[in-house]
Amino acid sequence: MPELPEVETIKNDLAPEVKGCRFVAVAFLCPQMVRRPSPDELHQRLIGQTVQEVTRRGKYLIFRLHSGEALLLHLRMSGSLLLKLSPAEPNSYTRAIFNLGNGLELHFCDRRKLGTIELVRDEAEVTAKLGPEPLDPGLTTEVLSQRLSRRRAPIKAVLCDQAFLAGIGNMYADEALFAARIHPLKPARALSEEEIERLHQAIAEVLEAAIGNRGATISNYSDAHGQPGVHQFFFSVAHRGGEPCPVCGTAIQRIPIRNRGTYFCPNCQNK
């Protein structure tokens, strides 16, 4: 699943290209991906609108429009958003095409058809449920400590909870916990202040490094130009089950936590 670094990369690619562009046509090839309003109403309300800004909240891509409305896209497990020259031939996984009227099209591709498209009067209708942004300066060690103190669940599960922190998923939770030397099954509220300080720093460092490497391509993620990320080559533990730990050489283990495959070093992250 594309996580914060991957969505941030796509946002950075799109922002300078589509700001000021006008939606002139929309084709929904998989109407069930339109969550709200209906595909017909979304088409009617979107056509003619100008993109004022492209931003990100958690794993959502947000197109803020001149009317004050917002178009929100979520890539879910296998989605990608590709910027193409118009007219562009859709591939077999293209589910929606947004024509921007200046020789550009946006193709929302999704093999599994799990992605979502929403047009709302106020983006808070969707994003209010999300937790703080992990890279927000307001998320201090003290704030993180306070939020963790109320959570009994394993720290890995808590980091992946979008209501706790927005944008972190399976890969980067594993990487941050390894960097902080914290076992993924440790209850969140049992972390020491020293561990929380390490985790706070690790989250920022892991996410910023991944953004710098334009995200990680494990299966089918690509940036807005169809190019893969390279951060997967720098993973310490994520998706490296059975390989030696880069620090101590112990074989990296994979265990399920809340139905998520979790990778960690049993020596460096001793419970």
Question: Which residues does the annotation mark as catalytic?
Answer: 2-3, 59, 260
Contact 251, 242 (CB under 8 A): yes
Bridge partners of residue 96, in order along the sequence: 28, 108
Find the radius of gyration of the CA atoms of the chain.
20
CA dist., res. 184 & res. 182, Å (int): 6
CA dist., res. 179 & res. 11, Å (int): 27
Q: Taking the CB of residue 22, how many other CB atoms lie within 10 A of it?
A: 16
Which residue bears the tokens 């909240």? 57
Which residue bears the tokens 């979107």? 46
Contact 188, 148 (CB under 8 A): yes
Contact 44, 28 (CB under 8 A): no
Nearest to 207 by CA among 130, 132, 135, 269: 135
Strands 34-36 and 116-120: parallel
CA dist., res. 267 & res. 254, Å (int): 13
